[in-house]
Amino acid sequence: MTIHFSRRVPGDLRENRISATLRRVGPPRFDLTASNPTRCDIAYPAGLLAPLGDPAGLSYRPDPRGLRSARVAVAAEYLRHDVAVDPDALVLTASTSEAYAFLFKLLCEPGEAVLAPVPSYPLFEHLAAVEGVSVRPYRLEPEAGWRPDLAELAEAGDDVRAVIVVHPNNPTGSFVAPDDARSLAALCAERSWALIADEVFLDYTLRDTPATSFAATAEALAFSLGGLSKSAGLPQLKLAWIAVSGPPAPAAAALERLEFIADTFLSVGTPVQLAAPEILRRGAVVREAIASRCRGNLATRRAAVAAHLAVAVLPLEGGWSAVLRIPAVIAEEDLVVTLLEADGVAVHPGFYFDFPREGYLIVSLLPPPATFSAGVERVLRRLAGLL
């Protein structure tokens, strides 16, 4: 099991203490941080990976943008979100992390910057630092439904080259509101910034209204990211994509340069590209199983928390995580360590995701229902004892 904690401050004592506790007590009995669906007793259909055995995979004729058959299949996936994407506007990568690396190479010179939301998964700084790019945070405020402060964004420096949005956000589960999406696109067009939309959790909506994709952005140069890791629950297959949209001339130029970057690495395997159409089709069953698991565990959590008036599950629109707001009667690091030592429960502290203040716990909605329910009950009992 891998459990991560804040690394935003090098040598942070909180990280050292929690990591040391985990090493000492061993794997927790109730792991509420699990993010790998292949290890959460999700039902995968027999023969799901059989298409990887296509004998055509023995022949190597790479296309820098990715095999067209795979790009056609990915384009068809966007139709589920009512967006028409040209297969020639897609570039395949081995992962969304690699997609970010390609985009930072494309958009930024060393020393330039991108804007990224906080709270969010602590990944952007690492990926950007490798490319010599800096990341400047913009705050999503819980009191405003995790909406960005557009005035704050507009004051960014002249060295900014792109704005990252995570749609829905990990871990807050908040989608970018349609009005904010339009305003962000207009701001990017005005400032000649690119818009990078991380949409890996787009399929996992927990609200009644359907999710929309940034792949239909017309006003500004935009890049929408997705991949098999989430859309089919198959992180081990290493296939992701970038959908390029925006004004025709900048989009065409970006695609040409992305093709050059991709051609330099040719990192996507032939077998997974050949198998992509069939795996995406069969993966719909896995996607629904994951979505059902998340909905069920979220309902369990809400019912359990209802009896604890001092604890709240924050509104959640999509994704695989839930945020628990707790009274700040104990520091998050102390609580997480106590839960590991005394209760055998692993949860994420809010500071790992750079929440604005103390008093947040984040749990995954992926664990098996029995593990999830028992783990949540232990968290709530511990909190009740502290109160």
d(CA 62, CA 266): 7
Tell me the average pLDDT of the chain: 94
User: Which of these three, 282, 301, 335, is where a domain ends?
Assistant: 282
- The CATH number linked to 296 is 3.90.1150.10
Output the six-digit token pair for 275.
């198998």
Give the span between the Cα atoms of 275 and 54, in whole angstroms: 7
| 222 Cβ neighbours under 8 A, 6+ residues apart | 185, 188, 194, 195, 196, 197, 214, 215, 244, 245, 246
Whether the per-residue pLDDT at 308 is higher than 80: the answer is yes
**Backbone phi and psi for residue 117, each to the nearest 5 degrees, phi listed first:** -75, 150
Same domain, yes or no: 54 and 29: no
39's CB contacts (< 8 A; 6+ apart) are none
Number of domains within the chain: 2
Residue 5 lies in a domain: no
Judged by phi (left if over 0) then psi (alpha if -120 to 50, else beta), residue 132 lies in left
Closest among 332, 345, 329 to 385, alpha carbons compared:
329
Looking at the structure, tell me whether residues 76 and 188 fall in a common domain. Answer: yes
User: Would 8 be classed as within a structural domain?
Assistant: no
Question: Same structural domain for residues 107 and 138?
Answer: yes
Among 272, 209, 270, which Cα is nearest to 239's?
A: 272
Q: What is the pLDDT of residue 8?
A: 45
1 domain-assigned: no
Mean pLDDT of all residues in 203-217: 92
The pLDDT value given to residue 351: 94
Same domain, 94 and 164: yes
**Are 264 and 292 contained in the same domain?**
no
Q: Is the domain of 246 the same as that of 376?
A: no
What would you measure as the largest C-alpha separation in the chain, in angstroms?
64
- Tokens 């077998």, located at residue: 271
- The H or E element containing residue 325 is strand 321-325
The one-character DSSP state at 378 is H
Cα→Cα distances 365→14, 258, 354, Å: 25, 35, 20
Check which CATH number belongs to the domain holding 196 and give it: 3.40.640.10
Quote the pLDDT of residue 334: 95
pLDDT tens figures, 339-376: 999 999 999 999 999 998 999 999 999 999 999 999 99
Question: Can you tell me the distance from the alpha carbon of 250 to that of 236, in angstroms, rounded to the nearest whole number?
Answer: 33
Q: Are residues 121 and 260 in the same domain?
A: yes
> Could you give the angle at the alpha carbon of 3 between the alpha carbons of 235 and 141, nearest 5°?
90
| Residue 164 counted as domain residue | yes
| C-beta separation of 171 from 121 below 8 A | yes
Among candidate residues 266, 282, 298, the one where a domain is terminated: 282
If asked whether residues 84 and 185 sit together in one domain, one would say yes
pLDDT of residue 14: 62
Do 229 and 189 sit in the same domain of this protein? yes
Backbone angles phi and psi of 313, in degrees to 5: -90, 120
DSSP output for 246-263: SSHHHHHHHHHHHHHHHH
Domain range for 197 is 50-282
- Phi and psi torsions of 370, nearest 5°: -65, -45
Does residue 151 sit in the same domain as residue 62? Answer: yes
Residue 35 lies in a domain: yes
The pLDDT value recorded for residue 207 is: 86
Tell me whether residue 3 is in a domain: no
Number of CB atoms found within 10 A of residue 125's CB: 15
Which of 257, 282, 307 delimits the end of a domain? 282
Q: What is the pTM for the complete model shown?
A: 0.94
| Phi, psi at 183, each rounded to 5° | -65, -40
**In this structure, are 213 and 102 located in the same domain?**
yes
What are 159-205's pLDDT values in tens digits?
999 999 999 999 999 999 999 999 999 999 999 999 999 999 999 99
Do both 100 and 26 map to the same domain? Answer: no
Cα 167 from chain centroid (whole Å): 8
In a domain, 303, yes or no: yes
**pLDDT (0 to 100) of residue 247:** 98
Asked whether the beta carbons of 93 and 242 are under 8 A apart, the reply is yes
Quickly count: other Cβ atoms within 10 Å of residue 191's Cβ: 15
Question: pLDDT of 237-252, one tens digit each?
Answer: 999 999 999 999 999 9
